[in-house]
Amino acid sequence: MTVYHNHTGQLEEITEKPFKLEREMQRLFEENLDVIMQLEPVKSEFTIKNKRIDTLAFDPQAVSFVIIEYKRDRNYSVVDQGFTYLSLMLENRADFIVEYNEKFKKPLKRDEVDWSQTRVVFVSQGFTENQIQATNFKDINIELWEVKQYENNMIVVNPVKKSAAAESIKPLAQKDAKLRSVTSEIKEYTEEEHVAKASEGIAEVYQRFRSSILNLDDSIDIKALKYYVAFKKSKKNLAAIVIQQNALKMLINAPKGELDDPKGVARDVSSIGRWGTGDYEVRIKDDTNLEYIMSLVKQAL
């Protein structure tokens, strides 16, 4: 990707300024984890069973741990290393719980964590085609993130997306005991599974709202988690929909007091437990207020 600066209509190429050390990338991510990945930093240089983890983080939305590794060179196997770290975490869950509790001074129980959403993220200035293809499986829970630095202090972060036709790795994992052990615990939630919970009528209502949200901006993506479907823009949740049999519950990601809702269709849920992010919830049974509700969602863009 070539980046330019626009000087009143004249484009000037901005030169890439490669990171000299892995530690530079690590420091950048650890100091901005919430901005870049919406994660909570737990521990830098976390050592367990003689293995060092660059960054241990926690995903409050998925309620799961994330291991982040930084690489300057491109000659390594992301799959082998990724599965080694996934296996390490799943075999030593109590150690990760202890580390979290010591950092945040609040109790997190082992059964509160969704271990099926455990994942490993590799951060590098670039990946080879072989590395990208090796992780192009829908249920592998290994992510690749590219980060580039430019001479004017511009930083570009780009998660490498898996193809829509990505297959399951489980048939291949049957040939390897370690892979089989990890993939038996990892779960890839799908939008279809959530929609299957709804009645036919509610499923149709969901599809209408789904299309309307996606039409708000071309960069909005969908991510299915355990309890809800998230609509994300620039890695931040815009809205989340919990699909029930006879209704939808939409969480709008606007802080308390900042949603302009003259009709009062959204209720303040900032002080109660909920799935998804945002302080406002709208309960939906039909598409009567679709346009008005979309006007509320737009405020979270």
Start-to-end CA span in the chain (Å): 26
| Domain edges within the chain | 4-183, 191-298
CATH fold of 4-183 reads Trna Endonuclease; Chain: A, domain 1 (3.40.1350)
* Contact by Cβ (8 Å): 192, 210: no
What is the residue-level pLDDT of the chain in tens, covering all 301 positions? 788 888 888 998 899 999 999 999 999 999 999 999 989 999 999 999 889 999 999 998 889 999 999 998 877 889 889 999 999 999 999 999 999 999 998 889 888 999 999 999 999 999 999 999 999 988 889 999 999 999 888 999 999 988 878 888 888 778 877 788 888 888 888 899 999 999 999 999 999 999 999 999 998 999 898 899 999 987 778 999 999 999 999 999 988 889 999 999 999 988 876 666 778 999 999 999 999 999 999 999 8
Distance between CA 301 and CA 120 in Å, rounded?
Answer: 28
Distance between CA 170 and CA 154 in Å, rounded?
Answer: 40
Q: For domain 191-298, say whether CATH 3.30.70 is its number.
A: no
Q: Closest Cα partner for 71 from 145, 153, 162, 160?
A: 145
Instruction: Tell me the pTM.
Output: 0.84
* Contact by Cβ (8 Å): 164, 139: no
Total residues belonging to the chain:
301
CA distances from 222 to 189, 203, 218, 225 (A): 12, 16, 12, 10
For residue 126, how many C-alpha atoms fall within 13 Å in the half-sphere facing its CB? Answer: 7
Rg (alpha carbons) of the chain, rounded to whole number? 21
What is the torsion angle, in degrees rounded to the nearest 10, for the CA atoms of residue 257, residue 259, residue 264 and residue 267?
-70
